[in-house]
Every structure is written in structure tokens, then in C-alpha cells.
Amino acid sequence: MPDRGESESRKLLRRLREAMAGESAGQERLDRITTLIAESMGTEVCSIYLFRDRETLELCATEGLKPEAVHQTRLRLGEGLVGRVGRSGRIINTENAPALPGFRYMPETGEEAYTSFLGVPIQRLGETLGVLVVQSREPRGFTADEVYALEVVAMVLAEMAELGAFVGEGAAMTARHQQPVTLRGTIGQEGVAMGHVWLHEPRVVVANPIADDPDREAERLREAVDRLRVGVDRMLDGAAGGDAEQLQVLEAYRMFANSPGWLRRMEESVASGLSAEAAVEKEQSSARARLTQVSDHYLRDRLHDLDDLSNRLLRLLTGQGKETGAQMPADPILIARNIGPAELLDYGRALRGVVLEEGSVGSHAAIVARALAIPLVIHAERITTEALNGDPIAVDGEQGIVHLRPDDSIAAAFRDKIAMQAEAQERYASIRDKPAETLCGTTIGMHMNAGLMADLPSLAGSGAEGVGLFRTELQFLLRNKMPRRSELSALYARIMQAAQGKRVVFRTLDIGSDKVLPYMTAVDEPNPALGWRAIRVGLDKPGVLRMQLQALVRAANGGPLSVMFPFIAQYEEYVAARAEMDKALARERILGHPLPSSLDVGAMLETPSLAFAPRRFFEEVEFLSIGGNDLKQFFFAADRENELVRRRYDTLNVSFLTFIEQIVRRCEETGTPLSFCGEDAGRPVEALCLAAMGIRLLSMRPASIGPVKHLLRRAHLGEVRTVIEGARERGEQSVRAAVMEYLKR
Ligand code: PEP
Ligand code: MG
């Protein structure tokens, strides 16, 4: 084997480029490439295996193995050495392949004659597209330089595959990004949508992975890295004294941007013949591959930082910005690895749906998507590498499934589903201004949950009689610094005006647990859902609560005001919070501001303990609202954000309904107005059962008001109650089956 210095690998790449030039078909190109690599590496065999589906690799071209085996030999992921490289994404380099565990002999290829084996994954941005293999008869360990050279070639092959250079006949040689793909994620926000892909971060296209002039490429790389470093320093200067988390990210950027190892690896790639862009992408690809193997949060975050930095560098090198000139489709479905709440809000209701590769159910982006009622699927792995701008896409937020480039049958099924929903919405429009009066003559109040100014138009559109829960934390989450009192009071005033006299219940800041403010020092808690959150923070550090209460009193400007404290677990907390309200009133009076014409101060019942509070609590509190999302997670000890358990316990579980019934009874004894504002209020069957247990006011997503009202107006609460009691007497775990049976009848 000749010494494989820089020039050898460069020569190989140059010849590779020649082999790929021209109009030849994909198969011909692959054939030429295998011949060329075998020749340059001095091996008898060179083969290229590509994935024909996610589980199967197919021999697509070979020099040295039997030609009849091409497109016939297939290996499942993990099968044989090739399958192992395909699955692990790691190189196998051995002098004695038959001796390795997992070696699989394939007679049709005639490979028994070869003992040395070097297989490298063909990877692009962390995704394995195939395996490149060289084999030789003589036992021979491939040197580090040879391995590196083959890796560089594999990288170029991956780029060429992305650009469509190997399209030919058969499943393994179809063009990339044209096949239908179904991805399973997690439900972020329910709803079904169809539209076209809009990438939040358009991918940079590397049109020429091979360097024409390596010295020039090295210079381009260094210049771009210098500009990157200056840019990062500038960002750091600009962020000084600001948000700690942002600073941490920027510090990580700076560390990577100045890391000699990072630059050296890219320089080596350029020296071996890659263009500067391809060298960056090679680094990025290995960082992404590492990401799939790392579960530690901190390390994952750092690998993401490195990925972001590579993107920045690629943009500097290619001049391709976020603005690609592409037109946002009329029915955009936003695709992003992750997105901040403010950015998502900027897109606003223009979006039909959102699909995130990461995110979490409780992330700020998810909260915004929920507030905007946009279907959201999170944890849709690979979506950012699979989707191209403009691809048709269907999002099923009810099941957490994404169909990218759906085939006709799936697209038709989605169209039907959407049409049915539209029809139902029309039906609901006809009852919009009618009360939710049941067949037995009970009227259930229909309020909506909100959190943004943008939600207020829904008050008229949905027929909601008021806002039963205004989540004030969104205003805090969307900013990168604490909002000022004047800003808040102006906003609250606008909300009250937009409500045109309808009641708006403002819930004071509910942070902690899943909702962490970027500008407040994060407290590391072993169990945040059970930790320092909501009113606990409000009472321990009352500055923000006081400011917020003052802002609310000012916003009411002499009109009515309703305020609710979140997460009250015991009477004394309510007393303390109420005292803060009284202090705010006193302060405003002294300052000469008008006081509210009427004031309701209530509490959210989100912990089982409050249901057992002393009677005087129920007498003193002006209203109570059951926060079913939290109450349920504590009642069943099942984290509402943990996919493994969050759907394990049914709201219609007899124990839970019995508990609700007890709360209703306690409120009835003292005449305390009671409502229910968790997500279950917006689920028709759940809402019906809650009403049957005695809840008379429900607050839900605006879009749910129609379906819930529609069902309530056709139901007889007494009968539902009898059905529930029957199930309870029979000792059933959940009343769902019995109620569904009744509804069918
Ligand atoms: C609840 O817990 O049910 C609730 C309405 O509050 P949030 O979902 O904002 O915690
Ligand atoms: Mg809650």
C-alpha cells in the first residue's frame, strides 16, 4: 500500500470528482467510484451498500465481489459486519474479518476469499445513509490515514447522495427526501393539520464537497472561523450582565470556536481534499452522531451548541442566510429542532401546525402553541433532516404522528378528517350564542382559558361567557427580562377592554415546576413539580406578586376585578396571599388610584390537601377553581409531563370522580362558587361527567367550547349520574365504558 499522505487522498478526491462529473446515470457513477477507490486504496474489493428501507442495506455497487450480487445481496441492520457498521455508525477495521463475532458469510458475493475488512458509515448530519467497504485478500490492518481517507470519501458520497447523484432503479437508489416518511412523536397540542413544510432554520446546501484548490480552501476556512470568533465575542459583549442561560450558551460557543481541536480536525479534512464547507459538515456530522449516543442532558446541550456553531460557520462560508428567498407557503407547518416562545409567537396564527424534533410538553413553545391552538407534535426524531421546504406534510396532534410527503391514501384520510372537523365547527357555530343547557334544564357556564392578548378574539368567536383562567405567566415567559409594572397594567387593561365587560379571572404568576423564567435564577430541585412553585414563590419572594397585584388593580381602573392564586395547598397560604391583595389595595388607595368596583379573590384547588382545608377557608375564599391538570397528577402521583405515566390514570376513574364530588359537596355547604379549568374541562365526555358530579362552570380551550356544549345540550345529567353511580357500585375502575355505552344509546 502506498503511503497515503495528503496528496494521495486529494488525488483520490480529485479522481472521484471526475468520476462524478457529467451526465451519467447513478449506477454508472457508483460503479466507477468503487473501481476507483479499490484502485487507489490498493484493495481487491470496494463495495457500496445503501439503505433500501430503514432496516435493510443493499449492495448497490462493487468492484471485486461477484457482479450478480449487486442489488441482490441485502443485509438487515445489525446483520454481518456491514449491518453492524450501518447500525452503530462506527467504523470496523480488521485484519481477520471471519474471526470477528457477527461475521456473516454471503456465498453469492464470493467474499470468502477476503480476510481484511474496513467498513465506514456513509453519514450526513448524523444520519447513516449506507456503508462503504474495502476488503483485501492479504491480512492487512488499515492505517489511521487510510481509515481517514475512506471516511472523507464516505462523507463526499453522502453529500453527493443528498444532491441526488446516485438516483437509479430500485428502492436503494431512489432520490432522497422524496419518499413518504411517518414519524412518531409526542402530543404537544391536539388538532389535525395539513400543509407544507416551512423550515425555521433552512439547511445550508453544500454544492461542492471537493476542494478545487486546497490552499485556498484552508484560507477560506480560517477566515470564516476568525469572523465567527469575532461574532461570538460581540454577542458575548452584548449579552453581558443579561440572562444567565444565554450567557452560558455563548460561553460554550466561544469555547468551541476557539478550540484548537475543532479547527485542527477541519483543517485536516481540508488538507485531505474536502472543501471548507464539507469539512465543517463532516465535523457537524460526527457531533450529531455523538448526540444520538449521549443521554446526559448537559453533554447533549453542548453538542447542540456545537451543532449551532457549525451552522453559523456554514452560513458564513456559503453566504446562505436564514433568508433563502423561499416563499413561506400559504399553509405553513413549521419544522424546527426547537423554538423559543417569542419566535413562535412571531409566526403566530399564520401557522397550521408545528413539529419539533425536541421540546417538551411543558416547554414554553408548547405553552404558546397551546395558547394559539396550533397542533403540535414534539420529539419527532429526524424531522429536521428529512423535511425540505415545501414538502407536503400532515400532522396528527391527537396521536403525535407526522406524515411527511404522505401518500394519497393518508392525504385523503386527513382531508376527510379535517372536513369532518370543519363541518362539526359549523354545527357548533349554530349553538354558539345558546346556553349549555342540558335536557334536564341545568345550565353549565362555559368559560375559556387564555394567556395572550391574541386569545381575546376567541371570546366572541367561541361563545365563551368569560375567561375562567388567564395564565399571566406567558407574558413573563415571553420576555427576556422582568416586565415592568406599567407594561403589565397596560396589558391587563387591554385584556379587560377586549373582554367587553365579560369576567376575566387573572391567575397570578404560576412559575416553577415546568415553567422557568429565563431571567430568574433557576433553583435546582430534585422534584420541581413538588417544589418551589406558583404561590410558594409568590409568598417567599413577594416583590413580583406585589407588583402584579398592583398592576391588576390599576388595570381595573375602578371597574370589577377577579384574581386567583395558583397552587394554594393550605388555608394559611390563602390568608397570606389575600393579605398581599389587601396591602396592594391600601397602597393604591394612598396613591390616589381608583379601587375596583368589585373584587373577587379566589384560589386554585390543585393539591388534594386543599379539599380538606378547614371550613372557614371555604367560607372566606370568594371562589375556587379546580386545576385538574395538577390535581390529577398529585391525586394519582403521576407526573403530567412524563410520557411513561401521564396517560396511565383516567380522569373518569371512580376514585377521582368521587374526590371531585367531595369538593363539590364542601363548596355547596358553604355556597362557594366552584369551577373546573384543567384540560379535561375541554374534553366532551369528561366535561359531561364533571357536570354530572355537580360542577357548574367549566373553563377550557376556546376550540373545545363547541364540542362540549354540543354534548351537554343533548345530555341528561341525572341519567349520567345514575350511570356513574351504577359503575361505582359495580366496583368498576373507570366509568368511561359505562358512560360511552349510555351515550351510544
Ligand atoms: C391546572 O393545573 O389544571 C391548570 C389549569 O394550571 P396549569 O395547567 O397552568 O398548571
Ligand atoms: Mg396548575
Which ligand sits nearest to residue 473's alpha carbon? 1
Task: Summarize the confidence of residues 461-481 as an average pLDDT.
Answer: 89
Q: Which ligand is nearest the CA of 514, by number?
A: 1
Residue 256 pLDDT grade (very low, low, confident, very high; cuts 50, 70, 90): confident
Q: Does 510 sit in the ligand 1 pocket, CB within 6 Å? A: yes
How many angstroms is it from 630 CA to the middle of ligand 1?
6
Q: Look at ligand 1, atom 4, and give the residue with the nearest C-alpha.
A: 627
Among the residues of 21-108, which ranges form H helices? 26-41, 80-88
* Ligand 1 atom nearest 628 alpha carbon: 3
Rounded distance from Cα 128 to ligand 2 centre (Å): 42
Cα separation, 110 vs 429, whole angstroms: 71
Q: Which of 364, 472, 537, 604 to mutate to test the pocket of ligand 1 (most atoms within 8 A of CB)?
A: 604
> Of the bound ligands, which one is closest to the alpha carbon of residue 507?
1
Question: Is residue 380 within 8 Å of 357, Cβ to Cβ?
Answer: yes
- Tell the residue nearest (CA) to atom 6 of ligand 1: 627
Which of the residue ranges 56-65, 101-110, 408-417, 608-617 has the most confident prediction, judged by mean pLDDT? 608-617
Is the alpha carbon torsion for 683, 684, 689, 694 positive or negative? positive
pLDDT of the residue at 3 = 42
> How high is the pLDDT of residue 6?
53
Give the active site residues.
364, 677
Max CA pair span of the chain: 96
Residue closest by Cα to atom 9 of ligand 1: 471
The answer for residues whose C-beta is within 8 angstroms of residue 88's C-beta and 6 or more apart is none
For ligand 1, say whether the CB of 220 is within 6 Å of any of its atoms. Answer: no
Distance CA(514)–CA(640), nearest Å, equals 10
Whether the predicted pLDDT of 745 surpasses 90:
no
Q: Which of 629, 631, 633, 676 to mutate to test the pocket of ligand 1 (most atoms within 8 A of CB)?
A: 629
Q: pLDDT above 70 covers what percent of the chain?
A: 96
Confidence label for 711 from pLDDT (cuts 50, 70 and 90): very high
Predicted TM-score (pTM) of this structure: 0.73
Q: How far is the CA of 677 from the centre of ligand 1 (A)?
A: 7
Cell of 559: 371597574
Ligand 1 atom nearest the C-alpha of 679 is 3
d(CA 88, CA 92): 10
For ligand 1, atom 1, which residue shows the shortest CA distance? 627
Q: What is the position in ligand 1's atom list of the atom closest to the CA of 625?
A: 5
Other Cβ atoms closer than 10 A to 593: 16
The number of beta carbons lying within 10 Å of the beta carbon of residue 364 is: 24
Bridge partner residues of 503 (DSSP):
466
Q: What is the pLDDT of residue 452?
A: 84
Instruction: Give 534-549 pLDDT, tens digit per residue.
Output: 999 999 999 999 999 9
Provide the β-strand partners of residue 467. 448, 504
Q: Report the separation in Å between the CA atom of 449 and the middle of ligand 1, taken as the mean of its atom positions.
A: 10
Say how many Å lie between the CA of residue 283 and the centre of ligand 2.
43
Q: How far is the CA of 450 from the centre of ligand 2 (A)?
A: 14
Residue 603 Cα to ligand 2 midpoint, Å, equals: 11
Q: Is the CB of 473 under 6 A from ligand 1?
A: no
What is the residue-wise DSSP string for 369-404?
HHHTT--EEE--TTHHHH--TT-EEEEETTTTEEEE
- CA–centroid distance, 533 to ligand 2, in Å, is 10
Ligand 1 pocket residue status of 678, Cβ below 6 Å: yes
Residue of 289 and 364 predicted with greater confidence: 289
| Run of H or E residues at 92 | strand 92-94
Q: Of the given ranges (137-146, 393-402, 668-677), which has the lowest mean pLDDT? A: 137-146
- Determine the atom of ligand 1 nearest the C-alpha atom of 677: 5
Indicate which ligand has the atom closest to the C-alpha of 371.
Answer: 1
Q: How much distance in Å is there from the Cα of 686 to the middle of ligand 2? A: 18
Q: Indicate if ligand 1 lies below 6 Å from the C-beta of 680.
A: no
DSSP at 591: T
Please tell me if the CB atom of residue 677 comes closer than 6 angstroms to any atom of ligand 1. yes
> Can you tell me the mean pLDDT for 368-392?
88
Task: Give the residue among 423, 456, 473, 444 at the shortest CA–CA distance from 682.
Answer: 444
Q: What is the mean pLDDT of residues 348-365?
A: 83
Confidence band, pLDDT 50/70/90 cuts, at residue 93? very high
CB of 514 closer than 6 angstroms to any ligand 1 atom: no
**Residues within 5 Å of ion ligand 2, judged at the Cβ atom:** 606, 627, 630
Burial of 665 (0-12, 13-18, 19+ CB in 10 A): exposed
Ligand nearest to the CA of 632: 1
What's the confidence (pLDDT) of residue 9? 76
> From the CA of 678, how far away is ligand 1's center (Å)?
6
Mutate to test the pocket of ligand 1, among 363, 368, 470, 471 (most ligand atoms within 8 A of CB): 471
State pLDDT tens for residues 311-352: 889 988 988 766 666 788 999 999 998 887 778 888 888 899
Ligand at shortest distance from the CA of 627: 1
Identity of the residue numbered 93: N
Ligand 2 mean position, distance from CA 600 (Å)? 20
Residue 463 CB–ligand 1 contact under 6 Å:
no
**Number of CB atoms found within 10 A of residue 420's CB:** 11
- Say which DSSP state 126 is in: T
**Atom of ligand 1 minimally distant from the CA of 626:** 3
Question: How high does pLDDT run on average in the chain?
Answer: 89
- Whether 2 shows a pLDDT value over 70: the answer reads no
Q: 496: CA distance to ligand 2 center in Å?
A: 23
Give the separation between CA 59 and CA 56, rounded to whole angstroms.
Answer: 10
- C-alpha cell of 638? 403521576
The answer, yes or no, to whether any atom of ligand 1 lies below 6 A from the CB of 191, is no
Ligand 1 proximity of 628 Cβ (cutoff 6 Å): yes
One-letter amino acid of 29: R
Kindly report, residue by residue over 564-618, the tens digit of the pLDDT.
999 999 999 999 999 999 999 999 999 999 999 999 999 999 999 999 999 999 9
290: left (phi over 0), alpha (psi -120 to 50) or beta: alpha
The Cα–Cα gap between 339 and 365 comes to 6
All three cell numbers of 282, joined, read 463532516
d(CA 47, CA 543): 68
pLDDT tens across 190-237, in order?
Answer: 889 999 999 998 878 788 888 888 899 999 999 999 999 998 888 888
Residue 239 has pLDDT above 80, yes or no: no
Asked whether residue 32 carries a pLDDT value surpassing 50, the answer given is yes
At 455 the pLDDT is 83
Residue 1 has a pLDDT of 36
Shortest-distance atom of ligand 1 to CA 678: 3
The DSSP element (H or E) to which 117 belongs, if any, is strand 116-124
Res 127 pLDDT > 90:
no
471 lines ligand 1 (CB under 6 A): yes
In this structure, the number of other CB atoms found within 10 A of the CB of residue 663 comes to: 24
Taking the CA of residue 513 as reference, the ligand 1 atom at the shortest distance is 10
Is pLDDT of 555 > 70? yes
| Residue to substitute in 606, 610, 680, 690 for testing ligand 1 pocket (most ligand atoms within 8 angstroms of CB) | 606
- Which residue's CA is the closest to the ligand 1 atom numbered 8? 629
Quick check: 427 pLDDT over 90?
A: no
* Residue 245 pLDDT level (bands cut at 50, 70, 90): low
Work out which ligand 1 atom sits closest to the CA atom of 630: 2
Alpha helices in 651-696 (DSSP H): 654-670, 684-692
Tell which atom from ligand 1 comes closest to the C-alpha of 473: 9
Atom of ligand 1 nearest to the CA of 514: 10
DSSP secondary structure of 264-288: HHHHHHHHTTB-HHHHHHHHHHHHH
Q: How many Å apart are CA 219 and CA 229, to the nearest integer? A: 15
pLDDT of 131 higher than 80: yes
Hey, which of 510, 533, 675 would you mutate to test ligand 1's pocket, going by the most ligand atoms within 8 Å of its Cβ?
510
d(CA 187, CA 167): 36
